[in-house]
């Protein structure tokens, strides 16, 4: 009979190995592989499980009429919308962002708002002393908010306390500072972050407490620590923005209880984060006179239309290899549009440096921005401003054909609301009654170029 090998498991990433080794080749952690004990030992026949059999699970029907507990609103409309309509009880939420972007400020304001709505709220800071958090609260005008504070990093103590206090909401700032005495490595290490996040999320489910974890983001834009933390939580929000700009965007990248891609817009002021209820007006407020290289894109972020200015600069390149630089959009998508302009419309960009910027620090991922990008690029290349008060949107395919964007009507409605009088968009797409805008519709990119510059 073949000898049965004892399975080993990596405590950091959960990968299984047939034998022990010093380093897990799945996650790269050292000294994390242990021999599996208990259930998996011995032949996997049902009878051998007998003694180790667990408790019976509680089974329920899909048709069960038990109503889900209601969501709680903070009253901060931008936050509530990104959460999918408010905070779901017993949910785990990860809020990621660059250091210094305003995560602690946002969550202290959120904690105060939820506490004022009657939620028992605890804010645990692993980075600042309670006195510092209190100072911040005073600066934000939140001194009277009924939020309980603690400065602690030992997760065992934190869990014991919140179990006894039974709050509705706990904020952990940040997950990278938390440590469990059962894990050997230092706070902030992959295994600690993973284990701490696991403890906190399972605590949230078990005890019906909502938990918000703050996570720092590394240089390449990922939440420091394992990606798997994102899988453990119900909702992942990113707090983004440019340090030099006052706009901050809270973006849902994953949400089990609402639409992903929803954004909330805030403005960092001397007195904390202020909600921006009409982001289009804000993103366009810095726009000067119509100038070459500028196009206004009528976009949709989550469920809301948002107008934003795209800026392009095209200049002869002094380098042997021309530069392409993008801020706020996808570099590969820019390369694709340049290639389509070149091969389908005969407009070369070789030997020209191309820069593209989304004004206001917003990041756009919609393919519908293609046509606005093309418009900005052409306008910059021709050194001719686009017609004033015109919005542009539509998707470009590799063949040079244009595809209508979803929610055409909502985009046009928003443009009209903000005083625009014309729109350039692809043919097709559902349009109900009169839009109140003068519409120029193009079937393909060549037609579009002809429409805006009177040449093919
Ligand atoms: P913070 O919330 O500490 O960032 P994070 O927790 O993401 O590291 O925010 C830090 C920045 O916010 C800091 O540079 C100062 C600025 N700020 C304001 O402009 N106004 C304010 O009212 C507060 C509290 C902070
Ligand atoms: Mg902070």
Could you tell me if the CB of 102 is within 6 A of ligand 1? yes
367 CB-contact burial (10 Å; exposed 0-12 / middle 13-18 / buried 19+): middle
Calpha distance 296→369 (Å, rounded): 10
pLDDT in tens, 86-108: 999 999 999 998 889 999 999 99
Calpha distance 305→249 (Å, rounded): 15
Q: What SS3 class is residue 291?
A: coil
Residues whose CB falls within 8 Å of the CB of residue 310, separated by 6 or more in sequence, listed in order: 294, 295, 296, 297, 329, 356, 357, 358, 359, 369, 372, 373, 375, 376
Tell whether the model's pLDDT for residue 49 goes beyond 80: no
pLDDT in tens, 318-368: 999 999 999 999 999 999 999 999 999 999 999 999 999 998 778 898 999
Crossing angle for the helix pair 331-345 and 370-382, to the nearest 10 degrees: 60
pLDDT in tens, 146-173: 999 999 999 999 999 999 999 999 999 9
Tell whether the model's pLDDT for residue 43 goes beyond 60: no
Ligand with the closest atom to the CA of 248: 1
- State percent of the chain over pLDDT 70: 91
Q: Which CATH number fits domain 77-276: 3.90.79.10, 3.40.50.2300, 3.40.50.300, 3.90.1300.10?
A: 3.40.50.300
Calpha distance 441→424 (Å, rounded): 6
Q: What SS3 class is residue 326?
A: strand
Calpha distance 456→447 (Å, rounded): 7
Positive/negative CA dihedral, 29, 32, 34, 40: negative
174 CA closest ligand 1 atom index: 6
pLDDT in tens, 306-318: 999 999 999 999 9
Tallying the residues shown for the chain, one arrives at 456
Calpha distance 299→313 (Å, rounded): 21
Give me the pLDDT at residue 52, please: 65
Cα 186 off chain centre by? 28
Q: Which CATH number fits domain 282-453: 3.30.2020.10, 3.30.230.10, 3.40.50.300, 1.10.10.60?
A: 3.30.230.10
pLDDT in tens, 225-280: 656 788 899 999 999 887 777 889 999 999 999 888 888 999 999 999 999 988 88
Protein residue whose Cα sits closest to atom 22 of ligand 1: 272
Question: Which of the residue ranges 39-48, 75-84, 358-367 would you say has the lowest mean pLDDT?
Answer: 39-48
Give me the pLDDT at residue 108, please: 96
- State percent of the chain over pLDDT 90: 60
Identify the residue whose tokens are 């007195």.
Answer: 271
Could you tell me if the CB of 142 is within 6 A of ligand 1? no
**Confidence at 45, pLDDT banded by 50, 70, 90:** very low
Could you tell me if the CB of 245 is within 6 A of ligand 1? no
Could you count the other beta carbons within 10 Å of the beta carbon of residue 19? Answer: 10
Give me the pLDDT at residue 456, please: 40
Could you tell me if the CB of 99 is within 6 A of ligand 1? yes
Cβ atoms of residues 171 and 123 within 8 Å:
yes
Cβ atoms of residues 245 and 282 within 8 Å:
no
Mean pLDDT of 134-145: 94
The domain limits of the chain are 1-36, 77-276, 282-453
**Confidence at 3, pLDDT banded by 50, 70, 90:** low
User: What's the DSSP call for residue 3?
Assistant: P
Question: Which of the residue ranges 23-27, 134-138, 254-258 would you say has the lowest mean pLDDT?
Answer: 23-27
Cα 209 to ligand 2 centre (Å)? 22
Q: Which residue has the higher pLDDT, 297 or 50?
A: 297
Identify the residue whose tokens are 């019976």.
Answer: 56
101 CA closest ligand 1 atom index: 7
In the sheet with 92-97, reading across from the earlier edge strand, the strands are: 147-151, 121-125, 169-173, 210-216, 92-97, 235-240, 247-255, 263-269, 272-275
Identify the residue whose tokens are 């003694």.
Answer: 51
Q: Please choose, from the candidates 117, 176, 174, 127, the residue with its C-alpha nearest in 3D space to the C-alpha of residue 147.
A: 117
Give me the pLDDT at residue 267, please: 92
Tell whether the model's pLDDT for residue 1 goes beyond 70: no
Mean pLDDT of 48-53: 57
Ligand with the closest atom to the CA of 96: 1
Give me the pLDDT at residue 300, please: 92
Tell whether the model's pLDDT for residue 223 goes beyond 80: no
Q: What angle do CA 242, 243, 244 make, to 5 degrees?
A: 90
Identify the residue whose tokens are 């504070």.
Answer: 149
Could you tell me if the CB of 241 is within 6 A of ligand 1? no
Give me the pLDDT at residue 39, please: 39
Give me the pLDDT at residue 31, please: 79
Could you tell me if the CB of 244 is within 6 A of ligand 1? no
Instruction: Concatenate the DSSP letters of all residues of 196-241 into one string.
Output: HHHHHHHHHHHHT-EEEEEEEB-TTSSBSS-THHHHHSSEEEEEE-
């Amino acid at each position: 009979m073949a000898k049965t090998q004892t399975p080993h498991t990596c405590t950091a990433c959960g990968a299984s190995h047939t034998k022990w080794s010093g380093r897990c080749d799945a996650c790269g952690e050292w000294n994390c592989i242990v021999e599996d004990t208990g259930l998996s030992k011995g032949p996997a026949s049902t009878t051998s499980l007998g003694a180790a059999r667990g408790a019976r699970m509680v089974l329920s029907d899909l048709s069960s009429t038990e109503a889900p507990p209601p969501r709680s609103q903070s009253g901060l409309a931008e936050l509530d919308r990104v959460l999918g309509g408010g905070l779901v009880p017993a949910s785990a939420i990860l809020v990621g962002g660059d250091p210094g972007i305003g995560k602690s400020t946002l969550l202290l304001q959120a904690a105060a708002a939820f506490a004022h709505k009657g939620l028992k709220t605890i804010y645990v800071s692993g980075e600042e002393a309670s006195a510092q958090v209190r100072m911040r609260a005073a600066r934000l005008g939140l001194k009277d908010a009924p939020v309980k504070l603690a400065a602690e990093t030992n997760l065992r103590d934190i869990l014991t306390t919140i179990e006894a206090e039974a709050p509705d909401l706990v904020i952990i700032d940040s997950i990278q500072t938390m440590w469990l005495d059962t894990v050997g490595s230092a706070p902030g290490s992959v295994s600690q972050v993973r284990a701490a996040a696991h403890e906190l999320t399972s605590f949230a489910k078990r005890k019906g407490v909502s938990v918000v974890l703050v996570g720092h983001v590394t240089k390449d834009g990922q939440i420091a620590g394992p990606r798997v933390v994102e899988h453990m939580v119900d909702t992942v929000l990113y707090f983004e923005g440019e340090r030099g700009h006052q706009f901050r965007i809270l973006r849902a990248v994953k949400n089990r209880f609402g639409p992903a891609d929803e954004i909330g817009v805030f403005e960092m002021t001397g007195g904390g984060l202020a909600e921006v209820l009409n982001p289009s007006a804000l993103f366009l407020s810095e726009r000067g006179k119509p100038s070459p290289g500028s196009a206004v894109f009528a976009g949709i972020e989550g469920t809301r239309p948002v107008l934003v200015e795209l800026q392009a600069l095209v200049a002869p390149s002094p380098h042997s290899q021309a530069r392409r630089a993008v801020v706020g959009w996808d570099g590969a998508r820019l390369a694709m549009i340049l290639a389509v302009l070149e091969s389908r419309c005969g407009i070369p960009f070789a030997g020209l440096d191309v820069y593209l910027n989304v004004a206001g620090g917003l990041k756009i991922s919609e393919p519908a921005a293609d046509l606005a990008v093309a418009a900005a690029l052409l306008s910059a290349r021709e050194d001719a401003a686009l017609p004033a008060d015109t919005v542009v949107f539509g998707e470009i395919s590799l063949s040079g054909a244009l595809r209508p964007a979803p929610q055409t009507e909502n985009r046009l409605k928003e443009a009209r609301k903000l005083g625009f009088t014309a729109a350039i968009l692809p043919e097709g797409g559902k349009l109900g009654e009169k839009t109140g805008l003068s519409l120029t519709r193009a079937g393909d990119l060549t037609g579009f170029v002809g429409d805006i510059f009177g040449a093919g």
